[in-house]
Structures are given as structure tokens and as C-alpha cells.
Structure 1
Amino acid sequence: MNKTMLIEILLDPTSSEADKDDAAIELGNHFDDEETIDTLIKVSNSRDIDEMISASCGESLGQIWLRKAKVDYEKLACLNGVALTEALSLIKQQRPDWYEKYIKQTSGKK
């Protein structure tokens, strides 16, 4: 499936939760451009989204940043709840230096 179709599924309020979850995972596995990252952040922070989908968005974002070998700390800081937990879990496991930097950057902001 192409990126445009996956994003459409993820943003379509009539798509099933299973289809949205699959789309989030596929985006994370195959695409790493800014449109994909921004879409995953937007969906993960949506109040109308199931927690499972939000978690998959966060995990996909973590995978993208790890694959690119570059994390966007500003975008990482935009994540909330389970999406943030999932992204940080991957980052902490594979790039503890990134995790420590994120913690230092955010420790005085909350």
C-alpha cells in the first residue's frame, strides 16, 4: 500500500480501529518523511483515537527516528500518554543517549 492510502486510512473517521492500527504500523515500517511523522503525531494526540492506535503511532515514530539515526526532540516532546511512552521505550532501549538528553531537556518544563 502506498503512503497516501495509509494516511487516508489513518485520518478517516470511518476506518476501523484495526485498519488504522495497521496503517500506523505500516507507515512506521516503510516511510520516514516529515509528512508521515507529522501525521503520526497528529493522530496519536487525537482525543478520538483508541489507545492502541496511539501506542502504534508512538512506536512507529520511535522506529522512524531510530532508522533515520536522528530524533527530533521538539516533535518527540509533542507526544502525550501512551504514544510518548512507546516512543521513549524504543529510544531508551536502543539509544539511551537520546533518552537521557530528552529527559534533561524536559525535566524543568513540567
Structure 2
Amino acid sequence: MTANGGGKLLLAATAACDVYDAAAAPSGPRQRTMVGSRILQMRTWLEGLFRKEPLSTMDDEVSLESRAEISPEERAVLLVGILDDPTAREDEKFDAAMDLEDFSGPVVETCLIRIIRAEDFTSVLAQHCAESLGGIWARTGRVDPAFMAQLRGPAKSEVFGILGIRAPHLLPPNAL
């Protein structure tokens, strides 16, 4: 990509961030700060895509992973933001829900549980969220027993299916 083409793309992406920022119209100062922070993170990430630094090779001392533009915590927050964004496309929400399986922590788990409940345990999005939640629970070796008791329908099938394969010891005694 030419420097000019990259510059035009960066300007377009920055303009899109401005439009998103204006459309979000948060109601309180704290929400304005959170949205502003997300916009700044997106802009910083976009600007990093168009730096003129040469790509690292195997001979370089610093690996590509250590030079990542965005930390895993920031990536998780951005993915949660996509799930919470009412203007996000359905396919973006599906991808975000599936990608959240690679992360863990109260913010991620709370978001997945909230979406599963909001989608009444039955939608495709609820199933993607349930699959990720099951994967997180299997990886971390712990579950939320209160929410597990509330699970029903396709969301329950997803969580129990993942746990049954990856961590059957986490399932309730009568689940199998």
C-alpha cells in the first residue's frame, strides 16, 4: 500500500471514529470518558497500522508479539465493547463473542453472562457467548454455579457440551 493510500485510509478510519464518537452521545461524564478512551485506543491502534517501520524478521532481537500494538486486556475490552455496541453488525458480534474465549476475568465473564441472559438463552449470539464461557470455565477450572443453575436451552447445551469434552469434572453430578 502506498504511503498516500495508507494516509487516506487512516483519515477515513479516524473520521469513522469521530462519527462513532458523535453518534454514541453518552449521557454522563463518566460514560463520555469511557467512550473517549475507547476512541483514543482505536485511533492509536489504527495509527500503529500505518507506521513506516520495517517489519521484524526472525533475526531481530525483539519478537513481533512483544511489539504488539494492543495488549490482551485492551483487546478484551474492545471485544466486550463490540458486544455492547447496539450499532455493531451481527457478524461482528458473533466474531467478538467467539474471540472472547481466549480471554478471562470478571469483565469478560460478566459480559458473556449478560448477553446470554439478554438473548434469552436461545439466539445464535447467546450460543456463541455460551460456547466461549464454557471454554473459559474449562480453561480456568472454575465455574459460576449460580449461573450454571440458570442455564437452559441451546446456551446450556453449548456450555455443558464444552465442559463435557474439556473439563467433565466441572459439570454438576447429574449432568451426564
Q: Percent identity?
A: 31
Please report the TM-score for the alignment, with normalisation by the length of structure 1: 0.79
Structure of higher RCO (CA pairs closer than 8 Å, 6+ residues apart): 1
More divergent stretch after superposition (6-15 vs 45-54): 45-54
What is the match of residue 143 of structure 2?
71
The 5-angstrom pairing of residues 1-110 of structure 1 reads: 2-29=75-102, 31-47=103-119, 51-101=123-173, 103=175
* Alignment RMSD: 2.3
- Say if 1:92 and 1:49 are closer, same or farther in 2 by CA, change over 3 A: closer
Instruction: Quote the Cα distance in structure 2 between the aligned partners of 1:48 and 1:96.
Output: 25
Please report the TM-score for the alignment, with normalisation by the length of structure 2: 0.52
Amino acid at match of 1:13: P
Instruction: Quote the Cα distance in structure 2 between the aligned partners of 1:102 and 1:38.
Output: 26
Instruction: Quote the Cα distance in structure 2 between the aligned partners of 1:26 and 1:86.
Output: 16
More divergent stretch after superposition (51-60 vs 40-49): 40-49
Question: Whose radius of gyration is greater, 1 or 2?
Answer: 2
The gaps in structure 2 that reach 5 residues or longer are 1-73
- Say if 1:35 and 1:79 are closer, same or farther in 2 by CA, change over 3 A: farther
Q: What SS does structure 2 have at the residue aligned with 1:92?
A: helix
